[in-house]
Chain A
Amino acid sequence: MSTPDTMGDRDTAERQTLSREVVVSNSQGLHARPADLLAREARKWRSRIELVVDAHRVDGKSILDVLTLAAEAGTRVVIEATGPDARDALDALGTLFAKRFNELEEPSNHDGSTGHRHVSRGETPGH
């Protein structure tokens, strides 16, 4: 959690938008269960939470919205939080990505070479 956050608006704490870039690092991507965990965690915070992948921006508190990202392993996601608890929200959500949504990587019938390049980096430096 040592990633520097970027301040969107330093003057008004209530309206500050903080963002953090993370990487989807579980091999199955943001499928139904991680999307549920993510939306559930996002709803715990007062801040507005949005997830951005390329030009696609969705409400992080809606599982249907999160699923529309179809974010595969390796996808870079920018989490944006706007509101009084933005920093704590980002920490909590960043942790979910870093912990790969507590997914046990399933024993594969195959060679197990799918998308494990990112496992050691749940988070990337902010921008």
Chain B
Amino acid sequence: MKFSDFVASDAIRARVEADSKEGVIREMVRALVDAGRITRSDEESIVRAIMKREDLGSTGIGRGVAVPHTKHPGVTRLVGTVAVSPPGIDFESLDGDPVHLFFLLVSPPDRPGDHLRALENISRQLRDDTFCRLLKAAKGPVDIQHLLEEADSQGVAS
């Protein structure tokens, strides 16, 4: 699965305003609402579901990356977005480091495989330090979009 298969490009945020775990999750879910990917009436329940998942164990998987996610019946296909916090946010991550890169995923309840394939793609790309560094340094959503496209096309070539 490629980034372009699930990342809503018009919901990418290069500089989140939030400085807390819940704040950044809210901001990203709102971005998906504003981009028309999820309905406004589902916004609050999706935020709550993602926070509930975080209670089970942080999705801050280390290396300054977090993948907050949930299943929700409000979507019929996997949707996601990307956000960057240049100063970093305390996300109670597994290695204790602040998180700069966020990949938020909302998947339909009956598609665990799609969720795994999105995680596979994200984690495979994030093993590349250059990719992480460039994402963190992105000046705007268009820069991020281009980085994701580049990662997608290299994935096809390799």
Q: How far is the CA of A27 from the CA of B119 in the complex (A)?
A: 16
A120 interface contact, C-beta 8 A: no
Interface string of B64-77 (1 = CB under 8 A from A): 00010100010000
Name B's A-contacting residues (CB within 8 A): 56-57, 59, 61-63, 67, 69, 73, 94, 109-110, 112-113, 115-117, 119-120, 122-124, 126-127
Band of interface residues on A: 20 to 34
**Could you show 22 A-B contacts with beta carbons less than 8 Å apart?**
A29-B112, A29-B116, A30-B116, A31-B119, A32-B69, A32-B119, A33-B56, A33-B57, A63-B94, A64-B123, A64-B126, A64-B127, A67-B120, A68-B123, A68-B127, A70-B116, A70-B120, A72-B112, A108-B110, A110-B109, A110-B110, A114-B112
Chief secondary structure at chain A's binding surface: loop
Which residue of B57, B61, B67, B116 is within 8 Å of A72 (Cβ)?
A: B116
The smallest C-beta distance from B113 to any residue of chain A, in angstroms, reads 5
Within 8 A of B (CB), among A2-33: 27-33
